[in-house]
Structure formats: C-alpha cells, structure tokens
Amino acid sequence: MRGHLWQPESPCGSSCMSGKTPTVSPARRVWRLITALAVLLTGPFIAIVMPLLAKRHREGAIRWWFRRIARSFGVRIEVHGAKVLRDYAQDERGALVASNHISWLDIVAVNAVQPMRAQAKKEVAGWPIIGKLAGAARTVYLDRENLRSLPVAVDELMKAMRGGSLVNVSPEGTTWCGLANGRFRPAMFQAAIDADVPVIPFVIRYRLTDGRDTTAPAFIGDETLVTSLRRTARTKGLVLEVHVLDPIEPSKAANRKELAEMTQAAVRDMLSRTQTLPEFEHPKLAAA
C-alpha cells in the first residue's frame, strides 16, 4: 500500500503477461535454474577477490559474471552504444545512468554492459547472494516507504558522481511490464544537477528472437521473485536489448523536473522506435 504521494505505484500485474510466449522443455527449465544457481554461488568468491584486482580486471570479472547469469537463463544480450558508458568509466567522469525498470534482470543488463554503483530499494539488501554483492558494490539503498530517507540518498549519489562514479537509478521507482511505462520521478536527477554531471539514458527492452516484445521477464505486482525467475527460465528465445543514448547535460534543463522529463522523453522515443507489440492487448496497457 502506498505510504506517501512520492512512492510510485504501477498498475501492471499478472494480467499484463502476454499469452503466446514460446517455452523450452521442462528439463531445459530445470537445467537453466540449476546453472543459474551455480553461477550465483560463485558471486561471494568474486566479491572476496575484487579488492585484489586492478580496476580493469575488476570490471571485467563483474561484466563476465553478469553475462553468465543472463546466459544461464537462456537470455541473449544485445547492446547498442556501450562505448558511451565505457568512455565515461575509463576517464572516471561521473554520470547518472537512468534506466526504465521492468525486471530483476535490469541489474544484469546494466552491469553486463558497464559495472557501476546503483541506487536500489532497501529490500535488495536482503536478497540471497545478490544482496551481498550489491553491498560490496556500494549500492545506495532507499526506503521507499520513508520519505525522510530520500535527501540522504540523493546526497550520497551526488558525492559518488562528483567523485567520478557512474551511478545507475530507476527513476520510475517501481517495475512496469515493459509495454507500459511509468513517469520518471525527478528526485534523483537533483543529484546530477548538484554534482554537475550529465544524465545518460539507458533503455532496456525485452523481446523474442522473432522481434516481438515480451513481458515474460517482468517482475511486477504481488508476485514473488521465484515466480519471475521460473517464468524467465521457461521462456524460449529471450533477448535483452540495451540502448545507451547520448548524455544530457544538466545545463540544458531549468530544473530537476525538466531534466527528468527530457530523459524520459529520450527513453520513450527509443522504445517507440524499437518496440513490436505482441498479439494481445490489455486495458491497463492501452490506458497507460
């Protein structure tokens, strides 16, 4: 239940799941889950050796690990514009990387392209293995039910970016199914303005090999993480498509609200040019 007006809500739920998604055999599903668990269990060991590695090798190990997670679920990652992020990371120039939010796989998408710090809901800290890794990556946690925690999170993000870090945020504030999208909340964009760093729009799209968009990997409504994991594991031909767009300088916006709107417009424009809707329509999606 919403605790305050800032806390976003999404109308997406189980009824948003598209009906004609191809699936793999039961044996393949089990194998994918076993493989994913095996990769996850290597995470703590990678976290232990991270401090011993040079930055380039550390980022390479993280990128490899997240790509292995995607591969274990049968997900093919397709990236457009990765050089934008890698140039910023190499030169240690800070930036706010703002992405649309659909699934737990989003964090895989970001770190498979370029490892970076992130802002996440406080519940992630309690997730098995992932929570430990997020802590090791110095994730900034936000209690979405406590509005008073917001200024602290914004200040921490500002300091990280001013120090040269890339920081990923999901300004929709909650997950959507991917065919409908939420409004980009402006709060986190204040951190980019205060740090005087650009915003880099990061567009996430989930589709099938035939080009149709799919809601299969979405993590929405009241469903559990296990439900979403199982649905992702049984999906055949899942492609995680990423578009890294041109940076938006904070000086181009009059305030954080306008900066959020500019970023949202860039993300939605890319989605409108790439999406191919599945053969179903839901009233919630049509009205969103």
CA–CA distance, 261 with 116 (Å, rounded to integer): 24
Pairing of strands 140-142, 166-169: unpaired
Which amino acid is it at 201? P
The model's confidence at residue 135, banded by pLDDT at 50, 70 and 90, is low
- Asked if the model's pLDDT at residue 132 lies above 90, the reply is no
Residue 269: count other Cβ atoms within 10 Å of its Cβ. 13
Average pLDDT over residues 223-233: 90
Six token digits for residue 86? 């890698």
Alpha helices in 73-209 (DSSP H): 82-90, 106-113, 130-136, 150-162, 189-195
**Of the given ranges (44-48, 74-78, 82-86, 115-119), which has the lowest mean pLDDT?**
44-48
Alpha helices in 50-91 (DSSP H): 55-72, 82-90
pLDDT per position as a tens digit, 28-50: 999 999 999 999 888 888 888 88
Average pLDDT over residues 253-280: 89
Share of the chain above pLDDT 70, in %: 82
Let me know: does 246 contact 211? Beta carbons within 8 Å: no
pLDDT at 243: 97
Residue 66: count other Cβ atoms within 10 Å of its Cβ. 23
pLDDT at 2: 47
> What's the whole-model pTM score?
0.88
pLDDT per position as a tens digit, 168-209: 999 998 888 878 888 999 999 999 999 999 999 999 999 999
Minimal CA–CA distance to 95: which of 116, 120, 122?
116
What's the whole-number average pLDDT of the chain?
86
pLDDT at 206: 95
pLDDT at 252: 96
Domains located in the chain, CATH noted: 22-276 (3.40.1130)
pLDDT at 285: 45
pLDDT at 20: 76
Phi, psi (5° rounding) for residue 93? Answer: -100, 125
pLDDT at 102: 93
CA–CA distance, 205 with 280 (Å, rounded to integer): 18
pLDDT at 237: 96
Residue 41: count other Cβ atoms within 10 Å of its Cβ. 11
CA–CA distance, 17 with 282 (Å, rounded to integer): 9
